[in-house]
């Protein structure tokens, strides 16, 4: 693989499935690292099997910029191959349940003993130990245990939300921590154990609800943030949705009243101060809803822009990628590769070291090349294949 990003020269070994570890490794691959994805020798990452022709959308979402090798870690020869691979690597990322890597003889202490410069990142559901550590963990479980779901849906009618927020937050947290560990290694020459979990990453993400609780003893809920930020969702007279976000500056409140031509609301005792508008959020929403029924969304968005009121349409995915600003930013990108696969672009740009975007590999597509780099002969690779150790 060609390099071209700030992490060029860094090799990541990912033993990952589903989202958390694959997403973390993909983010590092976007920045130029060489990522070798180690997949189960029988079938590969479960996200490959999605009932779609070719590369599934779920696999595509989290696995660009990688090489693929199939490897049976339950086999002695498979573990030997992995250890040789780690000898050529800078980072290992894995997202097995606690104890699985130790069962393979690949826990941090053993691996670090042979490869002291390796950054070893372990991603779990609820941490390496404790009363919930052995639970099967997926995104909805992470949302529920962390308190995230209570911030995004009514507690009386709990509803997991998408996309996979707890998974994605965890993957980003891992990628950030890995980069910090690599910086530290550049000073000391030694790697370290990096540990995160869906619970730790997601609870940490909920900084404002946590700070509010510890400060006041009060719980925030799914309406707290909209109330405090004075953000509202409406449908215009043509049925199309939009949002406004007034925040706390008084000017936006007054300009909104000018747009809807309702100056009397400023003198209404329910809405005459910011604190009262927060308290009477639902009543204010109802008052404004009646005003917006009189014209279509384009009319209101034009008036908001004229008055500098923060507002935007609520768009579907297809509408987002047709929006002029999204097009201007080039956020629909085509991956390098024969299939012309399109994805959402990266969320940040580095102008001097832009990195790369290459389509996900077919299962085991790089097995021969990776083993060749490790010094295996063609005959040895054939023997490993015959024994079903590699795929």
Q: 379 vs 344, 375, 384, 387, CA distance in Å? A: 42, 11, 9, 12
Respond yes or no on whether the N-terminal peptide bond of residue 163 is cis (omega within 30° of 0).
yes
Residue 167 a catalytic site member: yes
Q: 140 vs 60, 106, 222, CA distance in Å? A: 21, 29, 16
Residues 137 and 167 sit within 8 Å (Cβ to Cβ):
no
**Which strand (E) or helix (H) includes residue 40?**
strand 34-40
C-alpha span between 248 and 251 (Å, rounded): 9
Which candidate, 374, 364, 386, places its Cα nearest to that of 71? Answer: 364
Question: What phi and psi, each to the nearest 5 degrees, are found at residue 371?
Answer: -65, -35
Torsion angle, alpha carbons of 78, 49, 378, 71, to 10: -10
C-alpha span between 241 and 264 (Å, rounded): 25
Task: Say which of 167, 298, 308, 339 is annotated catalytic.
Answer: 167
For the chain, helix, strand, coil in percent to 5 are: 45, 15, 40
> Could you give the residue numbers annotated as active site?
167
């Amino acid at each position: 693989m060609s390099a071209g990003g700030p992490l060029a020269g860094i090799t990541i070994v990912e033993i990952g499935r589903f989202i958390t570890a694959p997403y973390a490794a993909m983010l590092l691959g976007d920045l130029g690292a060489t990522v070798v994805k180690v997949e189960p020798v029988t079938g590969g990452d479960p996200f490959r099997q999605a009932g779609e022709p070719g590369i599934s959308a779920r696999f595509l979402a989290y696995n660009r910029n990688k090489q693929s090798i199939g490897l049976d870690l339950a086999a002695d020869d498979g573990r030997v191959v992995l250890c040789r691979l780690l000898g050529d690597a800078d980072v290992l990322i894995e997202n097995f349940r606690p104890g699985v890597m130790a069962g393979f003889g690949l826990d941090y202490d053993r691996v670090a003993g042979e490869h002291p410069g390796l950054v070893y990142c372990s991603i779990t559901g609820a941490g390496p130990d404790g009363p919930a550590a052995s639970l099967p963990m997926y995104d909805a479980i992470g949302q529920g245990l962390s308190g995230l779901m209570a911030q995004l849906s009514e507690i009386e009618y709990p509803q997991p939300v998408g996309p996979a927020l707890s998974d994605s937050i965890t993957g980003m947290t891992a990628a950030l921590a890995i980069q910090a560990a690599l910086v530290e290694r550049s000073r000391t020459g030694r790697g370290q154990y990096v540990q995160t979990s869906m619970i730790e990453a997601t609870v940490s993400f909920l900084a404002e609800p946590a700070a509010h609780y510890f400060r006041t003893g009060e719980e925030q809920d799914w309406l707290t943030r909209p109330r405090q930020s004075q953000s509202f969702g409406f449908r215009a007279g043509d049925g199309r949705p939009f949002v406004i976000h007034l925040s706390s500056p008084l000017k936006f409140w007054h300009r909104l009243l000018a747009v809807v031509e309702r100056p009397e609301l400023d003198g209404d005792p329910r809405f005459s101060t910011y604190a009262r508008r927060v308290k009477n959020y639902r009543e204010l929403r109802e008052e404004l809803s009646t005003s917006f029924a009189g014209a279509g969304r384009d009319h209101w968005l034009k008036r908001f822009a004229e008055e500098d009121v923060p507002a935007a349409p609520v768009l579907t995915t297809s509408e987002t990628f047709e929006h002029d600003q999204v097009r201007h930013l080039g956020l629909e990108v085509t991956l390098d590769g024969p299939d012309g696969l399109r994805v959402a672009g990266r969320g940040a740009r580095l102008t001097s070291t832009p990195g790369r975007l290459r389509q996900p590999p077919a299962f085991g597509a790089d097995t021969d090349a990776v083993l060749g780099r490790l010094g295996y002969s063609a005959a040895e690779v054939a023997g490993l294949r015959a024994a079903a150790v590699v795929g």
